[in-house]
Amino acid sequence: MEYGAATRGALLAAAPLYGARRSRLPLSPPPSPPSIQIQNRLYSMSSLPLKARGVRRCEASLASDYTKASEVADLDWENLGFGIVQTDYMYITKCGQDGNFSEGEMIPFGPIALNPSSGVLNYGQGLFEGLKAYRTTDDSILLFRPEENALRMRTGAERMCMPAPSVEQFVDAVKQTVLANKRWVPPTGKGSLYIRPLLMGSGAVLGLAPAPEYTFIIFVSPVGNYFKEGLAPINLIVEDKFHRATPGGTGSVKTIGNYASVLMAQKIAKEKGYSDVLYLDAVHKKYLEEVSSCNIFVVKGNVISTPAVKGTILPGITRKSIIDVALSKGFQVEERLVSVEELLEADEVFCTGTAVVVSPVGSITYQGKRVEYAGNKGVGVVSQQLYTSLTSLQMGQAEDWLGWTVQLS
């Protein structure tokens, strides 16, 4: 379901039944369905709640620093990679045993105090999200479907026995954090501001149990391309020994432990010269699941197939968006079991994710056999078309009739 800012496309991306074929979207905007409304508040620079850390930093000093936030940061925007850049402010709020989060505040970006016996450190009780903000040619800032990240965090929090901010508080916090760090949003076409919401069990706990206190934080960093190749083919190896997730586990939620478990296979793959790893299902060991942090799509003729979200695969927001864009372009999209044999016989393969957006796959290596797509010399036609369509929406270069973007002033 779509909520909030995605008012006009709400019913387009409802999850299909397992193995279902997605119907084609109309090429003109559909009628507006009922939805939960997210208040699209506009903030002035002086209206955000700011708090100085420590008694030595006075409000006047912090206000002076914040005024400078309207200036553009001095970075080498032409060579911006995907890594952490320390920005000005981060958002923080806490929740006690009553399940209610306090009104959040903006504090200077920096280390946080955490009890050694906190739930997140001892038992991995933590979730994160990822989304982006883009600067348009008229210098406004656009968010892309932030309410979807809020809903996914709430789903993950329920699985991890954690309270979560409401959709409204999540989206509001994202807006505040981006505006507080506006000078770090890259110029148009030079990258994006990556937004990282974190929800963690910060309360002290010794025995295995949910933490008594939770902290919700949002920090940001300007980023360029996730893969060093940029919008160029990446080379994947199919992993048939290690597995990312198992049925009944937490593969479908964005919990922190899911990512630590892929580091070994990824490290081995990169040492061999591959860009990343593609995982198979843990039961039959022949059906595609995910790349380490991306969803996978296989193209054959006019049919685009992607593994169905069935409990072991993260329901990616970019994945969901690409499906709708592909349908609007006249492609047939199937969400189902996709075998590794189909992968090797495909016309084209690509990955999707918040960090990569769309990343074409130049080659797949499976059990020593290497298969190349499009001669490994360029971007596939479908990948290029979908990448251009989606990024045009995200950056405000095309009409957003689906209502996916949220503009900040």
Contacts of 159 (CB under 8 A, 6+ apart): 250, 252, 253, 255
Active site residue 182: no
Report in angstroms the alpha-carbon separations of 356 from 135, 220, 231, 318. 17, 17, 9, 9
Residue 321 burial by Cβ neighbours in a 10 Å radius (0-12, 13-18, 19+): buried
Residues 145, 327, 275: CA angle, nearest 5 degrees? 70
Strands 303-307 and 295-300: antiparallel
Distance (Å, whole) CA 255 – CA 124: 8
Residues 132, 175, 254, 320: which is the catalytic one?
254
Give the CA-trace dihedral at 166, 169, 172, 173, to 10 degrees: -110
The distance from CA 298 to its chain's CA centroid, rounded to whole angstroms, is 21
CB of 330 within 8 A of CB of 24? yes
Q: Is 298 helix (H, G, I), strand (E, B) or coil?
A: strand
Find the radius of gyration of the CA atoms of the chain: 21
Q: Which amino acid is at 294?
A: C
Residue identified by tokens 């039961």 is: 283
DSSP 231: S
CB 156 within 8 A of CB 127: yes
Distance of CA 392 to the CA centre of its chain: 18
Half-sphere exposure of 12 (CA within 13 A, CB side): 27
For the CA atoms of 67, 69, 75, 78, the dihedral, rounded to the nearest 10 degrees, stands at: -130
351 within 8 A of 36, measured Cβ to Cβ: no
Cβ contact 69:109 at 8 Å: no
Q: Which residues are catalytic?
A: 254
